[in-house]
């Protein structure tokens, strides 16, 4: 049985190049865990950890002022969040990715990552911000709705040979977060 950390034992820090391997592991594992039954299994099976690691090393190798990369630790890395200037027209900020390993969900880690990203958005005049989620990912949609996100847009994302609907949740102000 996994010993779950106390919310007080969890820290949210800015990711450094030294965190690349841990974040790549989380990203790869979280896709396998979170999208099972949502994304075609053959697509998930073809995902390669080395690709996640190479991309994460590249992302963390630059000092950027238009985005942040956060990692949740307790003390090992269990989640991460990437956020910055929106890639979606009509919004200032965007959560690009936010993932927590299944074994650490339902402990406030996602809320803590959202809170830190929201502070960054507030400090950098990046409200409103948007976050995209697969339409069939009901637990994550519920998470964003509980935090005050409003579904405002849809788009099609192609993965492998299939199309998936993504829903954009808009946050006009900091999320309603109680930790």
Taking only the tens place, the pLDDT of each residue in 96-136 is 999 999 999 999 999 999 999 999 999 999 999 999 999 99
Let me know if residue 161 belongs to a domain. Answer: no
Let me know if residue 97 belongs to a domain. Answer: yes
The pLDDT value recorded for residue 124 is 95
Q: Residue holding tokens 């803590």?
A: 112
Let me know if residue 39 belongs to a domain. Answer: yes
Let me know if residue 121 belongs to a domain. Answer: yes
The CATH number given to whatever domain includes residue 75 is 3.40.630.30
Let me know if residue 43 belongs to a domain. Answer: yes
Let me know if residue 27 belongs to a domain. Answer: yes
Q: Residue holding tokens 């965190």?
A: 19
Report the pLDDT averaged over residues 79-100: 95
The pLDDT value recorded for residue 56 is 97
The count of structural domains within the chain is 1
Do 82 and 21 form a contact (C-beta atoms < 8 A)?
no
**Strand, helix or coil for residue 178:** coil
The pLDDT value recorded for residue 8 is 64
For residue 89, the enclosing domain spans 9-125
**Strand, helix or coil for residue 103:** helix
Q: Model confidence over 147-169: pLDDT tens digits?
A: 999 999 999 999 999 999 999 99
Let me know if residue 85 belongs to a domain. Answer: yes
Q: What is the pTM of this model?
A: 0.93
- How many Å apart are CA 112 and CA 7, to the nearest integer? 9
Rg (CA), the chain: 16
Mean pLDDT taken over the chain: 94
């Amino acid at each position: 049985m996994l010993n779950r950390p106390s919310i007080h034992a969890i820290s949210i820090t800015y990711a450094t190049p030294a965190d690349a391997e841990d974040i790549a592991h989380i990203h790869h594992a979280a896709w396998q865990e979170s999208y099972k039954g949502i994304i075609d299994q053959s697509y998930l099976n073809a995902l390669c950890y080395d690709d996640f690691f190479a991309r994460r090393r590249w992302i963390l190798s630059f000092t950027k002022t238009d985005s942040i990369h956060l990692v949740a630790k307790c003390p090992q890395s269990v989640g991460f969040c990437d956020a910055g200037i929106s890639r979606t027209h009509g919004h200032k900020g965007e959560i690009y990715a936010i993932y927590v390993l299944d074994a650490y969900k339902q402990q406030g880690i996602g809320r803590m990552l959202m809170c830190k990203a929201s502070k960054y958005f507030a400090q950098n005049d990046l409200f409103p911000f948007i976050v995209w989620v697969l339409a069939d990912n009901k637990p994550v949609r519920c998470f964003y709705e509980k935090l005050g996100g409003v579904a405002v847009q849809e788009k099609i994302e192609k993965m492998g040979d299939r199309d998936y609907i993504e829903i954009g949740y808009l946050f006009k102000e900091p999320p309603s977060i109680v930790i």
